[in-house]
Amino acid sequence: MNFLLFLTKFSPNFHSPTKLSLNFPMFEPDRNGPYCTNYMASRLFRKKNVDQLIRTAQSDGNGGLAKILGVRDLVSLGIAAIVGAGIFSTIGLASFNGGPAVSLLFVFVAVACVFTALSYAQFASTVPVSGSAYTYAYVAFGELFAWIIGWALILEYAVSNMVVAISWSQYFVSMLAGFGVHLPGWLTMAPAYATEAYEKLQVQGVEALSDVERVAAAAYEQAPSLGDFRIVFDLPAGLITFLVTWLVYIGIKESRTASNVMVAVKIAVILFVIFGGAFYVKPENWTPFAPNGVEGVLSGVAAVFFAFIGFDSISTTAEECKNPQRDLPRAMILCLLICAVLYVSITLVLTGMVNYTEMNVKDPLAYVFEHVGLNYMAGVVSVTSVVAITSALLVFQLAQPRIWMTMSRDGLLWKRFATIHPKYKTPSFATIITGIMVAVPALFFKMDFFVDLTSVGTFFAFILVCAGVLYMDHTGISKQSRFRVPYINGKYLITIGFLVAMGLMYQFGQDVIAEWRGLSLIEIMEHKLLIVVFWLVWFALCFLGYRYRFSLLPVAGILVNLYLMSQLGVSNWLIFLVWLLIGLAVYFGYGYRHSVLNSTTDQVGT
């Protein structure tokens, strides 16, 4: 840097600072004098104000998106996203690990989600523009953080869609089998399942295979081949992704109608399960209530939290709402409350009908009715599971293109992603790319590769949204909000909570403390780094909360989400970091140069 300044000062042929750029924007001079660092920092963290975002959304040449969604539609979309694969699959494993007490875990996680939902609601009432956490980060933290969040949301929605599509395929194949229709095995699974099962068969023999592995090995043997290559793929997963993408492409009105119908069907059946199953509840199955203690209950935190993910997806439809500043906050809170009541009720009924030790199954709702001899109800539930998962796929497939559309409109992605279909009023090109991006991996990859990765980007986005509310309160942007997170002064409460948590850890966590004492520094950095980060962030928030009188509820949202992040595996974080590095390369290669803020002075400074 000093060498460049030297050349500028003493070389007669290097007197113009603009010659330093050489078409690399990060080496452009600061318009006020100093070079490189200040100028680049000012561009990386430049912010958009609320009025500018709204004007950009309204200035679309094709007339913008169709505004037809009301509170009921938004609640329906939220329930469609939340009550999907979670309640029809993960609830069984959570009950197996935690016993009947897992119903309390749903209450705890619902309360934790409310902290985040309140923050989303405040942003949605302030910035009624598609883009969800990406747009909110643009207002609060600047362009670089907005890009990182947008890139993380692409991973979240895409991976979630892949998981849901693969899960839908499993339920669909099982449903067809119940009606006597059997698809060839090589058309219903990822190649890795069949290959691994066949190799195990060759090495260990048929006796070593589980029932599922025997089906997979048979699928490999029966599959057509091209030379030595066996043709195996998950056709139902690809087909449902194509059909849902087509539905999302042709219009929000059609998507809304389909979602409302599917939500009505599955809510009716869930209520039927609750009230019908209540007659078969045996109270002795609720004893012991927490057979594996608190640790057993908390082991299902990540899975239960994943069952609530989806309420944030409705914020991507802000530009299609009739009155987003009023309706989005109401819809987020309502769908969370409704889903929490459904989850707690159905967990109590399931664990009352069947002992928790028998709940480690993929289709717990159907299983409990088979267990008590109500096979017709089990069939109804199996069919409804397909409907439920379809509705979840619809909402996530609806959300992904709108993230891309908003990023493209800001100049951070290619312009074609912002194309609005003149007839259907949907982001057409982004929707097509979303369908391809989800369908192809769903055809060929195992679900195990995707499952845990879905939560990383979600937690990261949730934390920044909660932190963004603190920023809005501090800078006065919250005065523009039509809905505000209830203010509870955390000046002292954040520190009190920290001290209480440390005291409880010392009193009841001696085993954990002993485990930490037995670890080397390298082992702590390798396996416990995220827990260390969690405590350090809480410690820092104690001082910041005291100085700036932070609101308690957004701080609680930050801490809860950060703790849940710390429970994810290291491999998930490594994949996320690789994805993030790819995103940064795209940003500096394209978005940094083409941002609409490069050619406007209508921006908020750092």
DSSP at 551? B
Contact 419, 212 (CB under 8 A): no
What does the alpha-carbon distance between residue 122 and residue 365 come to, in Å, rounded to a whole number? 36
3-state class (DSSP) for residue 604? strand
- Separation in Å, CA 44 to CA 143, 152, 517: 6, 18, 42
What does the alpha-carbon distance between residue 148 and residue 455 come to, in Å, rounded to a whole number? 15
On whether the 50-181+236-467 domain is CATH 3.30.413.10, my answer is no
pLDDT at residue number 601: 46
- Separation in Å, CA 595 to CA 67, 106, 134, 147, 600: 27, 42, 15, 11, 10
What does the alpha-carbon distance between residue 225 and residue 204 come to, in Å, rounded to a whole number? 24
What does the alpha-carbon distance between residue 261 and residue 312 come to, in Å, rounded to a whole number? 21
Q: Which of 139, 489, 476, 126 is nearest to 329 (CA)?
A: 126
Both structure tokens of 105:
């875990």
What does the alpha-carbon distance between residue 64 and residue 318 come to, in Å, rounded to a whole number? 12
Question: Which phi and psi angles does 210 have, rounded to 5°?
Answer: -75, 170
DSSP at 490? -
Q: Which of 255, 226, 303, 322 is nearest to 76 (CA)?
A: 255
Both structure tokens of 323:
């009155």
pLDDT at residue number 6: 37
What does the alpha-carbon distance between residue 230 and residue 223 come to, in Å, rounded to a whole number? 6
pLDDT at residue number 503: 92
- Read off the pTM: 0.77
Residues of the chain with pLDDT below 70 are: 1-39, 56-66, 84-86, 88-90, 130-131, 252-256, 299-303, 306, 316, 361-363, 447-455, 569, 600-606
Angle at 497 between CA 492 and CA 501, to 5 degrees: 155
pLDDT at residue number 582: 92
pLDDT at residue number 544: 95
pLDDT at residue number 536: 95
How many Cβ atoms sit within 10 Å of the Cβ of residue 65? 23
How many Cβ atoms sit within 10 Å of the Cβ of residue 373? 10
What does the alpha-carbon distance between residue 210 and residue 308 come to, in Å, rounded to a whole number? 32
Contact 566, 538 (CB under 8 A): no
What does the alpha-carbon distance between residue 65 and residue 32 come to, in Å, rounded to a whole number? 40
What does the alpha-carbon distance between residue 446 and residue 123 come to, in Å, rounded to a whole number? 36
Contact 235, 187 (CB under 8 A): yes
The H or E element containing residue 230 is strand 229-230
- Enumerate the domain spans of the chain: 2-44, 50-181+236-467, 191-232, 468-599
Preceding peptide of 29 cis, ω within 30°: no
What does the alpha-carbon distance between residue 314 and residue 392 come to, in Å, rounded to a whole number? 12
3-state class (DSSP) for residue 427? strand
What does the alpha-carbon distance between residue 94 and residue 111 come to, in Å, rounded to a whole number? 18
